Amino acid sequence: MSLVVLPFKSEDPTLVATNLGVAAAQSAVDEVWAVAADEAVAAPVRILADDIAAFREKTVRVIIQERIGKLRPGKGDAMNTAISRAAEEGWDRVHFYDADITNFDASWIDGAETAADRGYGVVRHRFPRAATDAMITWMITRPALARLFPGSFLPLLDQPLGGEVLLTRVAVESLACSEMVRRRSDWGIDTLLTYATSVMDIGLYEHHVADGKRHALYGSLHELREMLVECLDAARSLEGQPGPAPGARHGSDPAAEAPEDLKRIVAYDVVGSRRLLGMIWPEDEVRLVAHLPDEVAGRLLSAGPDRVFEQMDAGLWYEVHGFLMGRFVLGDPSWESLAFRLWLMRVLAYTIQHASQGYEESMRYLRSTVDLYVTAASSS
Ligand SMILES: Nc1nc2c(ncn2[C@@H]2O[C@H](COP(=O)(O)OP(=O)(O)O)[C@@H](O)[C@H]2O)c(=O)[nH]1
Ligand SMILES: [Mg+2]
């Protein structure tokens, strides 16, 4: 018995309904739920969902997310609402997909079901992304997993922030009882789900979606600010937690050639984002940067952020990332502003120096930075 869940907030109702319809059309799928942020966004989708339910003769429910967690009420509350209800109802398999995917089709569901049939307790979808997309994954989450769990498969996961996963019953039941997962009501939920399912030792498979995940991209990087600080805080919260058991079962489809059009996509507005760097360091941020080793602080503060940002290479970022992992405070305006500015410097430095070198070269470079961080963490 398989259930498909789509959390949604401000997506076009017809896109959400299209994806509900795709899920309901699959013979492997018994029921489909859309988890809405609130009643206002639920209403237009509910009308369309009722038509799909009648046409497919399946239950298609639009439910409103409950307040479960302790942080900003966001996607985490939506996913935890579904996890908790699915655990109560005893579903064997629960698929999650973002509602804004424009190339959602049977292959996602079949790929995950096939891996679950082979005995994997969790299936994560992996997919190629544009060279300038996934900048929180590459610059925050994978470096954090490298630092915290260097000998394990965690830093090697392709999409640790991906919302496209299949959970089998044992995983759903365990997550429904996990306080650290339930409190994470914000964008940090994906990090917590990735971590928590990786240490269950129930087998984890990465299914490759060759066409990539097509979904809404961004304007300026400012649009990612909230996600950035919440994902950074979620990564920090894993400090001191045990990693996956040695030899834990992890399988993956091999990566395949990325589609040509995806290789050419510029995922964010570089010129607009560059303007966000600022010409001078705000006083409150200077006070925080002063806690970095003198040599690192000196390099950063030697000129305005818009002039020193190109120095933010993989090596300098390792220092800065470690500093943020150690001291960042979610909800503190100075820390949030500083973390965003430092990450912006890193993303722009990478974009200008590496992402312009071609797709394959950019991917090789990004993977090499994760390897570097794993090596650095292993030897410290
Ligand atoms: N129910 C619910 N869904 C949300 C919330 N925030 C985001 N989502 C959904 O989570 C999914 C991922 O969000 P998106 O903005 O596409 O993130 P991105 O793909 O990482 O840039 C989408 O389907 C959103 O509609 C929320 O607060 N509540
Ligand atoms: Mg999206």
CB-based contact 78:5 (threshold 8 Å): no
Q: How would you write the pLDDT of the chain (380 residues) with one tens digit per residue? A: 999 999 999 999 999 999 999 999 999 999 999 999 999 999 999 999 999 999 999 999 999 999 999 999 999 999 999 999 999 999 999 999 999 999 999 999 999 999 999 999 999 999 999 999 999 999 999 999 999 999 999 999 999 999 999 999 999 999 999 999 999 999 999 999 999 999 999 999 999 999 999 998 888 999 999 999 999 999 999 999 999 999 999 999 988 899 999 999 989 999 999 999 999 999 999 999 999 999 999 999 999 999 999 999 999 999 999 999 999 999 999 999 999 999 999 999 999 999 989 999 999 999 999 999 999 999 87
Among 290, 335, 107, 307, which residue's Cα sits nearest to residue 208? 107
Gap between the Cα atoms of 99 and 49, Å rounded? 13
DSSP 8-state symbol, 337: H
Distances (CA, A) of 129 to 11, 61, 133, 279, 352: 21, 31, 6, 31, 18
Distance 75 CA to ligand 1 centre (A): 6
Gap between the Cα atoms of 167 and 2, Å rounded? 10
305 lines ligand 1 (CB under 6 A): no
164 lines ligand 1 (CB under 6 A): no
98 lines ligand 1 (CB under 6 A): yes
228 lines ligand 1 (CB under 6 A): no
3-state class (DSSP) for residue 119: coil
Helix H or strand E segment including 271? helix 270-274
Chain centroid to CA 310 = 26
68 lines ligand 1 (CB under 6 A): no
Distance 293 CA to ligand 1 centre (A): 37
188 lines ligand 1 (CB under 6 A): no
Gap between the Cα atoms of 147 and 118, Å rounded? 31
Residue of 4, 5, 6, 9 with the most ligand 1 atoms within 8 Å of its CB, for mutation: 9
Sign of CA dihedral 312, 314, 315, 318: positive
From first CA to last CA, the distance across the chain in angstroms is: 46
162 lines ligand 1 (CB under 6 A): no
Residue type, 176: A
Hey, what domains does the chain have and what are their CATH numbers? 2-253 (3.90.550.10), 264-378 (no CATH)
Supply φ then ψ for residue 7, to 5 degrees.
Answer: -75, 140
Distance 285 CA to ligand 1 centre (A): 30
